[in-house]
Chain A
Amino acid sequence: MTRPHGPAEAGHYVSADATSLPRRKARPSVRARVAATLLGFGALAVATCVLAPLVGTTPISFAAAFSRSIPFDQNVDAQIFFVARLPRVLAGALVGSALASAGVVFQALLRNPLATPFTLGVSAGASLGAMLVIMLGGAIALGPFSTVPAASLAGAGLAAAMVYWLATRQERAMSTSVLLLAGVTLNAFFSALIMFVQYLADFAQVYRAARWIMGDLDVGGYDSLTASLPLIVSSFALFALLPSSLNLLSLGADAAAARGVDVGRAQRIAFLSASLATSAAVSLAGPIGFVGIVVPHLVRLLVGVDHRIVLPASALFGAAFLVACDLAARTLLAPIEIPVGVVTAMIGGPFFLWLLVRKG
């Protein structure tokens, strides 16, 4: 990368501190800092996930909810707690965690602090898939997935595969600029297709599609969670391989290669894991925006830029953030709900703009 402006420059800002870290002997060891961060953010995430299901639009009796003497099918309190709230909080935690981590990885991979999990067209592909199923009216379940999630997953996979193919066609290592441009273009192209499909649809379908785009964590049961879990767990397993190489990758491919990173492999793992996490999250809850950019940056403000700390901390903070946003979404205007994507955007939009102008 020789471009003096834009993403390269921005990437530099992320990486400057990362390389100087090992030289600062005065700081506690990385391992101790990772442990401290995990403990702190872990406690926050756990506390949020435990408290969130206790709060809702309806006051419920927890004695009744956990009582064994009332049969479950007659126990309204138990159903509100176990069918309405708990799966919703878990979905929020999974999705928030996946999107925040994917945001961190894409920002490092693309060396661009403004990258989000949706920059490379994954969400547009997912939306197109979902939209097609909504318009065609299909409702056949594919294994554990019902149709809309399955189609959005397929669309996301298709978009990721196209971007991947485009970016790896010419060189052994991915070109981040090709990756970025291909992703942005694909995003625009898919958005145009979405508009076209919407244009042909009737009102009810447009309604349903519009609601899907706003994001929704109200999964109403555990089926969709168990369907998404394996994908999200595999992406996290891949994330675990990444942090050190992400630190070096954010210096640029050449610099990373000079320090012994297998750049092509690291980029592939980064791209695949982040795309997988994003696809799974979007298929579960729709494209909930801004989590993937707000959380990584807030975490960096708090703990610095070393990916060994930023990545796990973002995963945990992302869970807490989205669960909290969804809590606001379902309680603030009760009995009306605010779509959760609107809440994250209202917090995330201004934050994003502040981030954009801060350096200028």
Chain B
Amino acid sequence: MSLVPALTEVLFALGAGPQVVGVSSFDEFPPEVKTLPKVGALLDPDTEAVLALRPDLVIVYGSQSELQTQLRRAGLRAFSYRHGGITTILATIRELGAATGHRAESDALASTLQARLDAVRTRVNGRPRPRTLLVFERQPGTLRGVYAAGGVGFLHDVLGIAGGANVFADIARESVQPSVETLLTRAPDVILEVRATGLIERRTASERDAWSALPSIPAVRNARIHFLTGDHFVVPGPRLVQATEAIARTLHPDAFK
């Protein structure tokens, strides 16, 4: 049973899919999860539903301490996880393989992912690294409420491997909420906007237009604003490789010709 969508993906990638008896209410990938029972999520785990499914192992998020206590009391094994950078993800894949009896598959998966990431790194190696602003949320149509990737975490790591230099690399937080002044000061060469769902894609023109208020930003002046959609950009699971490759292609189209 998994309450963490990123790790549900890992389970299925390891071939542990048939062992999964329940998932969180936010799980959407792989498609098989849609038919599985939903047992709540990060903030509202349904303990009763969890227990009723009689799992041997429950994957919980690190902050769900109350749920962990309840699981312990019920004599169930919990696998606690917190999001981190790519290293954390690869290590977690191996731990999860060991915990579910898929050690060989997990070693193979982690090595494949590492190899594909290395391939991307090699491909963009030696090319100029554009100073990139990676936005994952803002109020549509305006530059208010911008959330951007800070200097730690999965998005920062992905951007680095894909050959971009994060403009907020110096801020040791997962996310940054820059003001308009900070955006102007950091003057990114490229603006990458990633979203889980396709809403923003349908309005790409007007969303691009929102940035035209700040023409001194090189990315705006040189029309280097890109929109990428898909939940693999926000779910730090095995598909982070696809996310990395997509970002690398966007930043360095020449490297992939």
Chain A residues with CB under 8 Å of chain B are: 56-58, 72-76, 79-80, 83-85, 88, 134, 137-139, 141, 146-148, 199, 202-204, 207-208, 211-212, 216, 218-221, 224, 330, 334-337
- Residues from chain A with Cβ under 8 Å of B180 in the complex: 83-84, 88, 218, 220
* Given A73-B216, A84-B184, A211-B145, A139 contacting B179 (CB threshold 8 A): no
Q: Are A208 and B137 in contact (CB under 8 A)?
A: yes
> Which B residues are in CB contact (< 8 Å) with A134?
139
Inter-subunit contact A75/B145 (CB<8 Å): no
Contact A204 B145 (CB under 8 A): no
Chain B interface (Cβ within 8 Å of chain A)?
A: 26, 44, 136-145, 147, 168, 171, 173, 176-182, 184-185, 187, 195-196, 199, 203, 206, 213-216, 221, 234
User: Chain B: interface secondary structure?
Assistant: loop
Say how far B232's CB is from chain A's closest CB, in angstroms.
15
Other-chain residue from A73, A146, A207, A218 in contact with B179 (beta carbon distance below 8 A): A218
Distance in angstroms from B197 CB to nearest chain A CB is 8
Chain A residues with CB below 8 A from B216, complex form? 73-76, 79
Which residue of chain B is the closest to A204 with respect to CB atoms?
A: B137
Which of B44, B195, B213 contacts A221 (CB under 8 A)?
Answer: B213
- A330 contacts B181, CB within 8 Å? yes
Q: Are B144 and A139 in contact (CB under 8 A)?
A: no
Q: Which 5 A-B pairs have the closest CB atoms?
A: A139-B140, A73-B215, A84-B181, A220-B180, A84-B180
CA distance A88 to B181 in the complex (A): 10
User: Which residues from chain A contact B137 at a C-beta distance below 8 Å?
Assistant: 204, 207-208
Question: How distant is the Cα of A330 from the Cα of B144 in the complex, in angstroms?
Answer: 14
Distance, CA A218 to CA B196, complexed state (A): 25
A337 and B139 contact, CB distance less than 8 A? no
Task: Give B170's nearest chain A residue, CB to CB.
Answer: A335
- A215 vs B173: C-alpha distance in the bound complex, in angstroms? 21
A139 to B140, CA, bound (A): 6
B181 touches A56 (CB 8 A): yes
| Chain A residues within an 8 Å CB radius of B206 | 139
> How distant is the Cα of A153 from the Cα of B142 in the complex, in angstroms?
17
Q: A57 touching B181 by the CB < 8 A rule?
A: yes
Q: Which residue of A lies closest to B203 (CB)?
A: A139
A residues near B187, Cβ cutoff 8 Å = 76
Task: Tell me the complex Cα distance, A224–B142, Å.
Answer: 10
Central interface residue in A57, A141, A146, A220, by most chain B CB within 10 Å: A220
The docked-state distance in angstroms from the alpha carbon of A336 to that of B214 is 20
Q: From known contacts A84-B181, A137-B199, A336-B171, infer whether A216 and B145 are also in contact, taking CB-CB under 8 Å.
A: yes
Note all chain B residues with C-beta closer than 8 A to A138: 140
A-B contact pairs, 24 of them (CB 8 A): A58-B181, A76-B184, A76-B185, A79-B214, A79-B215, A80-B184, A83-B180, A83-B184, A83-B213, A83-B214, A84-B179, A84-B184, A139-B140, A199-B44, A203-B26, A204-B136, A204-B195, A207-B137, A208-B139, A216-B144, A218-B180, A220-B143, A220-B144, A334-B182
Contacts A204-B196, A212-B145: A58 and B215 contacting too (C-beta < 8 A)? no
In the complex, chain B residues whose CB is within 8 Å of the CB of A79: 184, 214-216
A146 CA / B213 CA spacing, docked (Å): 15
In the bound complex, residues from chain A placing their C-beta under 8 Å from that of B203 are 139
CB pair B176–A336 under 8 Å, yes or no, is yes
| A212 nearest in chain B by CB position | B145
> Which chain A residues border B234 with CB–CB below 8 Å?
204
Complex contact B177–A137 (CB within 8 A): no
A58→B184 CA distance, assembly (Å): 10
B144 touches A218 (CB 8 A): yes
Distance to closest chain A CB from B222 (angstroms)? 12
Q: How far does the Cβ of B254 sit from chain A's closest Cβ, in whole Å?
A: 27
Nearest chain B CB to A90 CB, angstrom units: 13
Q: How far is the CB of B28 from chain A (nearest CB, A)?
A: 11
Q: How far is the CA of A58 from the CA of B136 in the complex (A)?
A: 24
**CB pair A147 B141 closer than 8 Å:** yes
Closest residue of chain B to A75 (Cβ to Cβ) is B216
Knowing A76-B184, A80-B184 are in contact, say whether A141-B171 is a contact too (CB < 8 A): no
A134 to B173, CA, bound (A): 25
**Bound: A73/B139 CA distance, A:** 24
> Which A residues are CB-close (under 8 A) to B26?
202-203
Q: Return the contact of B181 from the options A85, A137, A204 (Cβ within 8 A).
A: A85
